Amino acid sequence: MEAVATAEARRPLRLRCSVKNYDWGMIGQESMVGRLFALNSKQDIEAGKPYAELWMGTHESGPSFVDLGQPEGERLTLKSLVEENPSVLGEKVVKRWGMDLPFLFKALSVGKALSIQAHPDKELAGFLHKTHPELYKDPNHKPEMAIALSEFKALCGFVSVKELKDVLTHVPEILELVGEESAIKFMKIQVVDGNEVVKALLQSMFTTLMTASKEAISEALKKLLSRLGEEQKVRVLTVKEELVLLLEKQYPADVGVIAAFFFNYVKLSPGEALCINANEPHAYVSGECIECMATSDNVVRAGLTAKYRDVQTLCSMLTYKQGLPEILNGDSLNPYIKRYAPPFDEFEVDYYLIPSGESVVSAEISGPSILLIISGDGRLQMGVASVTQDVSEGNVFFVPSQIEISFSAGVTRPLQIYRAGVNSQFFDQ
Q: Characterize 87-104 residue by residue with b for buried, 16 or more Cβ atoms within 10 angstroms of its Cβ, and e for exposed.
A: ebbbeebbebbeebbbbb
Q: How many helices (H) and strands (E) does the chain have?
A: 13, 26
Contact, 374 vs 366, CB < 8 A? no
Q: Where in the chain is the domain with CATH 2.60.120.10?
A: 6-156+267-310+320-328, 332-428
Clarify whether 35 is annotated catalytic. no
Nearest alpha-carbon partner for 398 in 375, 423, 425, 367: 367
The distance of Cα 265 from the centroid of its chain, to the nearest Å, equals 16
- The tens digit of pLDDT for each residue in 311-339 reads 999 999 999 999 889 899 999 999 999 99
Q: Domain 6-156+267-310+320-328 belongs to what architecture?
A: Sandwich (2.60)
Across the chain, mean pLDDT equals 93
**What is the pLDDT, as a whole number, of residue 1?**
42
Q: Where in the chain is the domain with CATH 1.10.441.10?
A: 161-256
State the pTM of this model.
0.94
Contact, 102 vs 422, CB < 8 A? yes
- Phi and psi for 323 in degrees, rounded to 5? 110, 165
> Spelled out in words, what is the top-level CATH class assigned to the domain 161-256?
mainly alpha
- The tens digit of pLDDT for each residue in 158-205 reads 999 999 999 999 999 999 999 989 999 999 888 656 688 899 999 999
Phi-psi region of 376 (alpha: psi -120 to 50; beta: other; left: phi over 0): left
Answer whether CATH 2.60.40.10 is correct for domain 332-428.
Answer: no
Spatial neighbors of 266 by CB under 8 A, at least 6 apart, are 153, 154, 155, 156, 274, 324, 325, 327
Residue of 301, 339, 379, 413 with catalytic role: 301
- The tens digit of pLDDT for each residue in 269-292 reads 999 999 999 999 999 999 999 999
